[in-house]
């Protein structure tokens, strides 16, 4: 674990000298201190043993809020630089989808994968040009009062906007899955319904990322 040039935190699992997966968290309206994502933490714990050749780098933002989206993007870009891998896959959960899209301007970024990504209509998708862009979303995901969420229709709209720019990729919906992949219970990240399906689809993207690099 270490501090990035922006003041955000980074923790890395596995070797990152060749290929790295930089994981960026979601956020909220209020400007609160960053936390480690339970969903990303659970995925890393499950997938890192399956992909010993990949380095998994999780980012803890300084402030996890879409009101400070530019700060979160700066944190993600600093993580890509700090990891130092020549090829990077950005894995963004919820608001982290928007963060990953904007951070794709870093030269090392090869692929962007959004997990229930927040892709507002005002978000420029130009940074995705020349990259693979995959979206994975839970069919039951939606915003409810007091409960965070992103509708699949919203991310699908963003995905189609990317396709109109000539960006290649895939859009996948997971039946029965919610917005999150895991939740925090004390010090542990515990899976939510559909978590294994999330992991399987992310693993397929990692396999493709690895194969393209060989």
Question: Could you tell me the pTM of the whole model?
Answer: 0.96
The residue count for the chain: 214
CA pair distance 57, 20, nearest whole angstrom: 7
Average per-residue pLDDT in the chain?
95
Where in the sequence is the domain holding 183, given as residue range(s)?
A: 2-209
Token pair in block for residue 83: 């990891």
**Does the residue 214 lie in any domain?**
no
* Cβ-based neighbour number of residue 17 at 10 Å: 11
CA separation for the pair 80, 140 (Å, rounded):
32
User: CATH number of the domain that 125 lies in?
Assistant: 3.40.50.1820
Question: How far is it, in rounded angstroms, from Cα 70 to Cα 65?
Answer: 10
Beta bridge partners of 59: 10
Residue pLDDT, tens place only, 75-119: 999 999 999 999 999 999 999 999 999 999 999 999 999 999 999
Instruction: Give domain status of residue 203, yes or no.
Output: yes
Residue 64 lies in a domain: yes
- Taking the C-alpha atoms of residue 92 and residue 76, their distance in angstroms, rounded to an integer, is 10
Is the torsion defined by CA of 134, 112, 2, 49 positive or negative? positive
Q: What is the mean pLDDT of residues 203-210?
A: 98
- Tell whether 164 is covered by a domain: yes
Q: Is residue 13 part of a domain?
A: yes
Q: Which two tokens stand for residue 197?
A: 């399906």
Is there a domain that residue 109 lies in?
Answer: yes
* Residue 5: both structure tokens together: 């040039």
Burial of 137-151, coded b for 16+ CB within 10 Å and e otherwise, reads bbebbeeeeeebbbe
Q: What DSSP character marks residue 208?
A: H
Question: Is pLDDT at 192 greater than 70 in this prediction?
Answer: yes
CA 182, CA 197: separation in Å to the nearest integer?
A: 12
Query: Are the beta carbons of 148 and 185 closer than 8 angstroms?
Result: no
Query: How many whole angstroms separate alpha carbon 157 and alpha carbon 39?
Result: 23
Counting the structural domains of the chain, the total is 1
Instruction: Say which DSSP state 11 is in.
Output: E
80 domain residue, yes or no: yes
With a cut of 80, say whether residue 144 has pLDDT above it: no
């Amino acid at each position: 674990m270490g501090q990035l040039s922006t003041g955000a935190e980074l923790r890395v699992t596995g070797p990152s000298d060749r290929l790295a997966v930089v994981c960026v968290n979601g956020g909220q309206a209020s400007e609160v201190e960053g936390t480690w994502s339970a969903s990303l933490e659970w995925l890393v714990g499950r997938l890192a043993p399956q992909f010993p050749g990949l380095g998994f780098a999780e980012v803890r933002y300084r402030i996890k809020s879409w009101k400070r989206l530019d700060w979160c993007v700066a944190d993600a870009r600093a993580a890509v630089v700090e990891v130092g891998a020549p090829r990077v896959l950005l894995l963004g959960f919820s608001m982290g989808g928007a963060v990953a899209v904007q951070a794709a301007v870093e030269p090392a970024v090869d692929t962007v994968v959004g997990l229930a990504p927040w892709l507002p209509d005002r978000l420029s998708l130009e940074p995705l040009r020349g990259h693979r862009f995959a979206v994975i979303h839970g069919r039951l995901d939606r915003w409810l009062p007091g409960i965070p969420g992103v509708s699949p229709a919203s991310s699908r709209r963003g995905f189609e906007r990317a396709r109109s720019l000539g960006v290649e990729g895939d859009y996948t919906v997971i039946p029965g899955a919610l917005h999150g992949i895991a939740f925090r219970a004390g010090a542990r990240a515990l899976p939510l319904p559909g978590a294994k399906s999330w992991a399987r689809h992310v693993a397929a993207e990692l396999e493709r990322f690895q194969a393209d690099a060989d």
